[in-house]
């Protein structure tokens, strides 16, 4: 049976809800199975009014998108609960690889720069598609970037997403330019300052934060303010500083981050500009690669994951496409930052988005 047939929207009563595999401030996420096809998917459920607003926004946004770089919504189910309280189930394709945040937790390390380049390229493809269709994601971070078992990347969690007015569709809901949501340490300065309508440049700032997160296994660091999130938020919004860049990062990577963290939104590079940047198209300089401390396999599950790049030169485009489909992530030892991993959840609780969903993953 084709995979496309396995992911058909289940008919009412023709699907079974499995165990909860994630939760957030606005609802729960369960594994589910289509009884007619045996296909797996996940269901996001919401009952409170606030939860319904975010989930309906996600459903409306995803309902008008179709891209191999965006997680697919396969349907929705509206129900009347007790005392007339509305319920909503949103059916989403199942991404067996989990999220980029899961990868760091699972391997107790951070991503190698070669993988960061590949993943960043795929994230950019998703952003280019969104921006061409008038959508700003508004909550880009590692938790909201999902992987298939083969390593394909898709953007997910569109509860905070906004569609710009010039791209309104009949199913889109009007969004207030004053309302913001997302995760503070990943938000752009202009968003935190509530300066007019949010635009695509906000996603680019968040992309830079996501690259740092992949490279360090932690949120962007603003001096010692990670221990005081509100001080960090104030510095993001009102200073002229940039977050601390990853140690040992290549010159292409550092330049890429500078383009993302340009405080003047008119000068900040677009997703299309960045897709042509050497960081995502070029080959990692061997001199920079010498600074990377690779993580030795600790079990049979890690063995064979890493393999050296071929010496044969092929096109940059082909390298990116082949690598992302062929490999699963491997890690390197973090430069003195591994202690953060054991405290990730407690730190995130201080700075998490009110609309954040915990990434779906089967233990």
CB atoms within 10 A of CB 2: 7
Q: What is the pLDDT of residues 24-41, one digit of tens each?
A: 666 788 999 998 898 999
For tokens 């697919």, the residue is: 72
Residue 6 has a pLDDT of: 46
Reduce the DSSP state of residue 70 to 3 states and report it.
Answer: strand
Residue 86 has a pLDDT of: 77
Look up 139 and say whether it is catalytic.
Answer: yes
Residue 260 has a pLDDT of: 98
In this prediction, residue 88 has a pLDDT band, given cuts at 50, 70 and 90, of confident
Between 344 and 297, residue with greater pLDDT: 344
Is-same-fold flag (3-93; 98-351)? no
Has residue 215 got a pLDDT over 70?
yes
Q: What is the pLDDT of residues 115-129, one digit of tens each?
A: 999 999 999 999 999
β-partners of residue 32 are: 17, 41
* Angle separating helix axes 201-216 and 251-260, nearest 10 degrees: 140
Name the active-site residue from 112, 139, 157, 203.
139
Tokens of 72: 């697919």
d(CA 104, CA 215): 10
Cβ atoms of residues 355 and 139 within 8 Å: yes
**85: CB partners within 8 A, 6+ apart:** 47
CATH number of 3-93: 3.30.200.20
d(CA 10, CA 269): 42
Has residue 335 got a pLDDT over 80?
no
DSSP label at residue 10:
P
Tokens of 43: 């269901």
Q: What is the pLDDT of residues 277-334, one digit of tens each?
A: 999 997 655 444 444 443 333 333 333 333 333 333 334 444 344 444 444 444 443 3
- At the topology level, CATH places domain 98-351 in Transferase(Phosphotransferase); domain 1 (1.10.510)
Give the domain ranges of the chain.
Answer: 3-93, 98-351
CB atoms within 10 A of CB 83: 5
> Model-level pTM?
0.75
Q: What is the mean pLDDT of residues 76-104?
A: 83
């Amino acid at each position: 049976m084709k995979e496309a047939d396995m992911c058909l929207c289940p008919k009412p009563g023709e699907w079974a809800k499995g165990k909860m595999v994630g939760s957030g401030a606005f609802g729960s996420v369960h594994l589910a199975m289509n009884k007619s096809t045996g296909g797996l998917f996940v269901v996001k459920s919401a009952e409170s009014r606030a939860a319904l607003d975010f989930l309906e926004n996600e459903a409306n946004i995803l309902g008008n998108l179709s891209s191999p770089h965006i997680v697919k919504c396969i349907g929705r189910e509206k129900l009347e609960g007790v005392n007339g309280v509305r319920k909503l189930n949103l059916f989403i394709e199942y991404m067996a690889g989990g999220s980029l945040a899961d990868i760091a937790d699972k391997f107790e390390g951070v991503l190698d720069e070669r993988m960061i380049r590949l993943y960043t390229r795929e994230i950019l493809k998703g952003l280019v598609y969104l921006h061409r269709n008038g959508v700003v994601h508004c909550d880009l971070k590692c938790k909201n970037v999902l992987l298939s078992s083969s390593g394909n990347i898709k953007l997910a969690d569109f509860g905070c997403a906004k569609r710009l007015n010039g791209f309104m569709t009949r199913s889109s809901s009007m969004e207030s330019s004053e309302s913001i949501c997302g995760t503070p340490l990943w938000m752009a300065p202009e968003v935190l300052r509530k300066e007019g309508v949010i635009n695509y440049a906000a996603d680019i700032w968040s992309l830079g934060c996501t690259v740092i997160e992949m490279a360090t296994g932690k949120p962007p660091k603003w001096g010692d303010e990670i221990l005081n999130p509100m001080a960090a938020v104030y510095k993001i919004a009102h200073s002229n500083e940039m977050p601390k860049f990853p140690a040992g990062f290549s010159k292409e990577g550092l330049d890429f981050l500078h383009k993302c963290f340009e405080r003047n939104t008119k000068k900040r590079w677009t997703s299309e500009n960045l897709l042509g940047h050497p960081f995502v198209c070029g080959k990692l300089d061997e001199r920079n690669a010498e600074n990377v401390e690779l993580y030795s396999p600790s079990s049979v599950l890690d063995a064979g994951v890493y393999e050296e790049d071929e010496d044969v030169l092929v096109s940059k485009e082909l390298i990116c496409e082949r690598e992302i489909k062929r490999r699963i992530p491997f890690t390197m030892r973090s430069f003195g930052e591994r202690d953060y991993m054991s405290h990730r959840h407690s730190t995130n609780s201080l700075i998490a988005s009110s609309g954040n969903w915990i990434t779906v993953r089967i233990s």
